Chain A
Amino acid sequence: MFDELRDLYQEVILDHGKNPRNFRRPEDATCLAHGNNPVCGDTLVIYLTLDSDERIQDAAFQGQGCAISVASASMMTDILKGKTATEAKRLFEGFHNMCTRDDFDISQLSDCDEDAIDRLVMLSGVKEFPIRVKCATLAWHTMQAAVSGDEETSTE
């Protein structure tokens, strides 16, 4: 019955949704932000540990949400470790465009970490489900807010 949904709900995503990575609150986090999606009640807290060069030493999250938003947060925190805040921002913009724009050209991200791109491409399956785009991008919006020092953010 649900063949079309397999593109979005792939095994990897289901696995991250059920067994999220980096699901914890690090003692040494240097910034955090709360994100919520008022439409469905998803709430996330993203914790980042940035060093003096603005490089992300650790990324973690807590909260609750649907399979897509939890998987996205789980994958994002994996991806961000070792990246600079500027790289994180570029990935977010790339991912956002991937999820929302028909004219998105993957070569824009050709100099980015290939493994990260593969994962983001997988999650960008939400493009076919416009109402779910916010689920996939909530963690990224929240991460961006943490980096810029806004403690509260919302996808509305």
Chain B
Amino acid sequence: MNKPSNVVEMTPETNLGDNSTAAYDIEKIRADFPILSREVYGKPLVYLDNGASAQKPRQVIDAISEVFEQYYSNVHRGVHWTSQQSTTAFEGGRSKVAKFLNAPSENEIIFTRGATESINLVAHSWGRTFLKAGDEVIISHMEHHANIVPWQMLRQELGIDLKVVPIDDDGNFMFDEYENLLSPKTKLVAVTHVSNALGSVVPVKDVIEKAHAQGALVLLDGCQAVPHAAVDVQDLDVDFYVFSGHKLYGPTGIGVLWGREDLLNSMTPYQTGGEMISSVTFEKTTFKKAPHRFEAGTPAIAEAIGLGVAIDYVQAIGLDNIAAHEHGVLQYATERLLTIEGLKIIGTAKEKAAIISFDLDGVHPHDLGTFVDRAGVAVRVGHHCAQPVMDRFGVAATARASFGLYNTRGEVDALVDALEETRKFFG
């Protein structure tokens, strides 16, 4: 059985700080998430589908209610009190995102509907302005469809080439192959920071350094990275960074595109309309600078404010503390899952975030999902919007447990028990 080398031997009793310690008060954290105390099918809900979307703490839920109950209005448009309040809170959300990513300027934070829209925005506004036939965009074999299809569309439209960095049998990004693909034709490297299907962490700093040495820009898909570790866009020296709010304990319908200010202001608008223009006459329209250039129309106001509160929430716990906690849960889960006969973990990269894809011999993932669901355990089954990854490992689908800041080793045990029972049922 393939066991990742970095997993330390431990017994279920080994304490990795899972239960209440001064540094990480898991019970207090769990109490912040109302949904975690509910039951499904008469069993406690064990929510292990954080990679798809994370649950929301009371603080975020309350903040959103407060917007609508206390001061809601459209932003940037009214001289009245509610509009001023809403605008201040909305722009406060932007400022929190900027600090969260250590962005040099708040103007570099563009609110979108989510990572999908952020990537489409770059493909549209940067790609159509700066790419031409024969230019190359490099992606990796473990991209989410959201970071594949927009580039394929540009290939069709502009005649650019798309190059794919392979992954090895453990799901590691193959750096040597990446270096071989880089050339003066490379204009953009668009890769995931952490794979949603495998959990692999991509060595993004080295990726960026090599890309820049060739004069190429780098876009990182940070959807699965920001909930698990602190990200500093200046330290990374990256050019574009995208993520979705809902995977970071924030609301749906809000996401972020961060881009270097000079780059953003050199790009054409994405959508056009209200809010994004300096002046309009029937002869000529001039556009505002970033971020407003890319935020046509009324934005997701309460959602942006909610995202800011979600960021406050994770920062109050501390991304480093979250990373340490999740790493403990990941190690424990890896160890425990491998005790199940016929269970194979898909994705055993050297460095992983708290995501485990697996296959259980003799049980199709879809049946597995239905069974563990009855035990109250929510896992994702399917191709995780990463079909090339499934093809690479020769499977149509996997089951995936993805952990968040509130998951415990007791919940891992619930998953393992449910899987043992499922295996027996199909046995």
Residues on A lying within 8 angstroms of B by beta carbon are 1-2, 4-5, 9, 14, 39-43, 64-69, 129, 132, 135
B396 touches A68 (CB 8 A): no
A43 touches B396 (CB 8 A): yes
A40 touches B371 (CB 8 A): no
B370 touches A132 (CB 8 A): yes
B367 touches A2 (CB 8 A): no
B374 touches A41 (CB 8 A): no
C-alpha gap A156/B277 in the complex (Å): 40
**Nearest Cβ on chain B to A153's Cβ, whole angstroms:** 17
Tally of contact residues, B, Cβ under 8 A:
21
Q: Which of B365-390 contact A (CB under 8 A)?
A: 365-367, 370-371, 374-375, 381-383, 387, 390
Which one, A5, A39, A43, A67, contacts B364 given CB within 8 A? A67
Least CB separation from B420: chain A residue: A1
Residues on B lying within 8 angstroms of A by beta carbon are 41, 364-367, 370-371, 374-375, 381-383, 387, 390, 396-397, 418, 421-422, 425-426
C-alpha gap A42/B421 in the complex (Å): 24
A40-B366, A41-B383 as given contacts; A5 in contact with B397, CB under 8 Å: no
B425 touches A2 (CB 8 A): yes
Chain A residues whose C-beta falls within 8 Å of the C-beta of B383 in the assembled complex:
40-41
Interface pairs (18), CB distance under 8 Å:
A2-B371, A2-B421, A4-B374, A5-B374, A5-B425, A9-B425, A14-B426, A40-B365, A40-B382, A40-B396, A40-B397, A41-B390, A64-B396, A67-B367, A67-B426, A68-B367, A69-B366, A132-B370
Least CB separation from A63: chain B residue: B396
Chain B residues whose C-beta falls within 8 Å of the C-beta of A69 in the assembled complex:
366
C-alpha gap A5/B306 in the complex (Å): 39
C-alpha gap A135/B367 in the complex (Å): 10
**Nearest Cβ on chain A to B45's Cβ, whole angstroms:** 16
B366 touches A66 (CB 8 A): yes
A66 touches B375 (CB 8 A): no
**Nearest Cβ on chain A to B290's Cβ, whole angstroms:** 36
Chain A residues whose C-beta falls within 8 Å of the C-beta of B422 in the assembled complex:
2
C-alpha gap A14/B365 in the complex (Å): 15
Least CB separation from A68: chain B residue: B367
Chain B residues whose C-beta falls within 8 Å of the C-beta of A9 in the assembled complex:
367, 425
A14-B426, A41-B396, A67-B364 as given contacts; A1 in contact with B382, CB under 8 Å: no
A65-B364, A66-B364 as given contacts; A40 in contact with B374, CB under 8 Å: no
Chain B residues whose C-beta falls within 8 Å of the C-beta of A43 in the assembled complex:
396
**Nearest Cβ on chain B to A149's Cβ, whole angstroms:** 27
Which one, B370, B397, B421, B426, contacts A1 given CB within 8 A? B421
A9-B425, A39-B382 as given contacts; A1 in contact with B418, CB under 8 Å: yes
C-alpha gap A9/B367 in the complex (Å): 9
Closest 8 pairs between A and B when the two form their complex, measured CB to CB: A41-B396, A66-B366, A66-B364, A41-B397, A40-B366, A1-B421, A67-B367, A66-B367
C-alpha gap A5/B426 in the complex (Å): 12
B371 touches A5 (CB 8 A): yes
Least CB separation from B426: chain A residue: A14
A1 touches B374 (CB 8 A): yes
